[in-house]
């Protein structure tokens, strides 16, 4: 289970580029395990470090700006998370500490991976994203209300499917969501076992 997402306030790290793909989020050379850990150092490695495979920070890349050292929100462009279905990209974001990405649009598979790993993919139009960036101020994301606001009082709503919202609010992954229906599943199985007992021959109960 992930940490439940309710209300989050953070200075967003501006990475306003379109078509940021999963190989840019974490290059394949940085994927040295099949697990969800030891990936944070490889996050945005192609931009974050001066040399390929190196670890000397590039001061020109926003992630290395001390002002955004504690940011838990990324402010992106259109088609964020495009490319392959590489779930390591989301694992790296989560391990580093990001809890939300605000962008104009997302690759659908990437957005789904975000939700399953406790990261909110929130869509705003380009005018709203520009307003947030120019404010230079923290944003407050209220998932229950589906709003993103800044200190000036400006506020925007973002779309999210009810199931995705519920998963994030409760910190559930897809298995956890299914287990919430365990009683219903057991009831159906009991009824099916009575109606079609031959299906269950040799099955331990």
Per-domain residue ranges for the chain? 7-171, 173-205
Across the range 8-13, mean pLDDT stands at: 98
Place of tokens 């709203």: 128
Q: What is the mean pLDDT of the chain?
A: 94
pTM for the whole thing? 0.88
CA-based nearest residue to 115, from 162, 68, 74? 162
Q: Which helix (H) or strand (E) holds 133?
A: helix 126-135
With a cut of 90, say whether residue 120 has pLDDT above it.
Answer: yes
DSSP code of residue 76: -
Q: For domain 7-171, give its CATH number from 3.40.50.620, 3.20.19.10, 3.40.640.10, 3.10.450.50.
A: 3.20.19.10
With a cut of 80, say whether residue 152 has pLDDT above it.
Answer: yes
With a cut of 90, say whether residue 199 has pLDDT above it.
Answer: no
Higher pLDDT, 170 or 201: 170
pLDDT at position 172: 86
- Give the phi and the psi of residue 136 in degrees, each rounded to 5: 60, 20
With a cut of 90, say whether residue 113 has pLDDT above it.
Answer: yes
Contact 79, 18 (CB under 8 A): yes
pLDDT range class, residue 51, cuts 50, 70, 90: very high
With a cut of 80, say whether residue 88 has pLDDT above it.
Answer: yes
pLDDT at position 204: 67
Across the range 27-36, mean pLDDT stands at: 90
pLDDT at position 114: 97
């Amino acid at each position: 289970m992930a940490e439940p997402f309710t209300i989050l306030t953070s200075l967003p790290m501006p990475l306003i580029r379109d078509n940021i793909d999963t190989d840019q989020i974490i290059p394949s050379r940085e994927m040295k395990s099949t697990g969800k850990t030891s990936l944070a150092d490889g996050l945005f490695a192609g931009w974050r470090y001066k040399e390929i495979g190196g670890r000397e920070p590039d001061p020109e890349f926003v992630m290395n700006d001390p002002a955004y050292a504690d940011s838990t929100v990324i402010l992106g462009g259109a088609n964020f998370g495009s490319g392959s279905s590489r779930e390591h990209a989301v694992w790296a974001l989560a391990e580093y500490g990001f809890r939300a990405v605000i962008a104009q649009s997302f690759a659908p598979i990437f957005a789904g991976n975000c939700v399953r790993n406790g990261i909110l993919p929130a869509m705003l139009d380009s005018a709203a994203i520009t307003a947030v960036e120019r404010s230079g101020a923290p944003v407050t994301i209220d998932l229950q209300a589906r709003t993103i606001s800044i200190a000036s009082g400006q506020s925007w709503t973002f779309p999210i499917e009810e199931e995705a919202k519920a998963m994030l609010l409760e910190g559930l992954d897809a298995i956890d969501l299914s287990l919430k229906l365990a009683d219903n599943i057991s009831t159906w199985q009991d009824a099916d076992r009575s109606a079609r007992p031959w299906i269950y021959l040799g099955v331990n109960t």
